[in-house]
Structure 1
Amino acid sequence: MSLQSLVFCPDEKIVRVLRRVLSDLEIAVERCSDADSAIRKLTRQRFEAVIVDCSDEQVASQVLKSARSAPCNKHAVAVAIVDGTTKLRSAFDLGAHFVLYKPISSERAKASFRAVRAMMKRERRRNIRVAIEIPVTLTIKDGAGQQRAVTSDLGEGGIAIQSSQRPKKMGPMSIQFTLPGTSHVVKCMGEVAWENAGRQTGIRFADMSPETRDRLKAWITNHSPES
Structure 2
Amino acid sequence: MDTDDFADVDPVIELRGVRKRYDTGGEIVEALKGIDFVARPGEFVAIMGPSGSGKSTMLNVLGLLDAPTEGVVLLNGRDVTDLSDEEMTLERKRSIGFVFQNFYLIPTLTATENVEVPTLFDDDPTAHDRAIDLLSRVGLGDRLEHRPNQLSGGQKQRVAIARSLVNRPRILLADEPTGNLDRETGRTILEEFTRIKEEDDVAVIAVTHDSQVTKYADRTINLVDGLIRTEEDDYGT
**Normalised by the size of structure 2, how large is the TM-score?**
0.30
Bigger relative CO (Cα 8 Å, ≥ 6 apart): 2
Structure with greater strand percent:
1
Higher gyration radius (CA): 1
